[in-house]
């Protein structure tokens, strides 16, 4: 890369087979990214070198890399280290899903898991999870696609990468219902079940946390404003620390019982309170509308 060039924006898409890597790659391609599928990790520096010779024609690149050998994790780390020597850095997006979801996807496509050998699909999934454990831990962004359809996954990728080159930290606040399961891609979790549940109030039960009467009720409860104040202050300490450590994406999950009232109102309010923190904040209401 020439010294006078701005560093290219590079995304590495990896994760479990069947979790949506191709869909994620296609969404970036539609956003104008140069995308290479099934690229061996060792060729990442070569891809960057070729882009550097394009005279600015290629500034956003993405590569889909998957399990090729037992040395996959080491190969990927080495390739990303080589990118740093070239004044480039890559963001790693790791896609995963629950075992039952992956099994259904493989069954629907009537194809074997690439690592199952003579065993079952679940054997292949377990082997791949173990092989990718370290890669997942080092990823900048972990996305659980268990409850996302193709269109929703593409929308999430647009939310994260559709605004051009990211220069700061992006915070995703996800409201959820505990009865539907904890978001496995959460970095932080805030539990709002200490607040009274509007579900038990006849006039509020049909509403959601986005409706003013329900929102006002939730925010007026003892402890609600104190919780929001202190949690916002905590984020103002934690988020810059994440950024100093090179983390580009942080997911905060805000939960209540059903993901309809308390978590929705608190997630929206928390986002409003930290809007001036310098982070790019987005809010997703995962379970709204499921009841």
117/16 Cα distance (integer angstroms): 16
H or E element, residue 215 = helix 212-219
176/179 Cα distance (integer angstroms): 9
Average pLDDT over residues 242-270: 92
pLDDT 10s digits, 116-140: 888 999 999 999 999 888 889 888 8
Strand intervals (E) in 178-236: 188-191
Q: Please, which pLDDT band fits residue 276 given cuts at 50, 70 and 90? A: confident
């Amino acid at each position: 890369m020439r010294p006078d060039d701005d560093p290219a924006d590079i995304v590495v898409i990896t994760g479990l087979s069947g979790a949506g890597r191709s869909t994620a790659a296609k969404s970036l391609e539609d956003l104008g990214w140069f995308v290479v599928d099934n690229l061996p990790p060792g060729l990442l520096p070569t891809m960057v070198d070729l882009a550097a010779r394009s005279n600015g024609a290629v500034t956003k690149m993405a590569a889909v890399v998957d399990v090729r050998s037992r040395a996959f994790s080491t190969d990927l780390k080495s390739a990303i280290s080589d990118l740093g020597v070239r004044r480039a850095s890559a963001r790693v997006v790791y896609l995963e899903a629950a075992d039952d979801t992956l099994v259904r996807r493989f069954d629907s496509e009537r194809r074997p898991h690439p690592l199952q050998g003579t065993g079952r699909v679940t054997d292949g999934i377990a082997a791949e999870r173990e092989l990718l454990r370290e890669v997942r831990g080092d990823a900048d962004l972990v996305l659980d696609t268990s409850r996302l359809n193709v269109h929703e996954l593409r929308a999430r990728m647009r939310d994260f990468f559709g605004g051009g080159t990211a220069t700061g930290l992006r915070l995703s606040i996800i409201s959820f219902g505990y009865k539907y399961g904890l978001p496995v891609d959460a970095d932080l979790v805030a539990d709002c079940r200490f607040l009274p549940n509007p579900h038990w109030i006849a006039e509020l039960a049909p509403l959601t946390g986005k409706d003013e009467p329900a929102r006002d009720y939730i925010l007026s409860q003892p402890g609600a404003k104190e919780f929001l104040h202190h949690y916002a202050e905590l984020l103002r300490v934690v988020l810059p620390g994440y950024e100093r450590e090179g983390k580009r994406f942080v997911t905060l999950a805000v939960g209540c019982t059903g993901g309809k009232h308390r978590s929705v109102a608190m997630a929206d309010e928390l986002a409003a309170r930290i809007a001036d923190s310098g982070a790019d904040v987005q809010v997703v209401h995962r379970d709204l509308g499921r009841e």
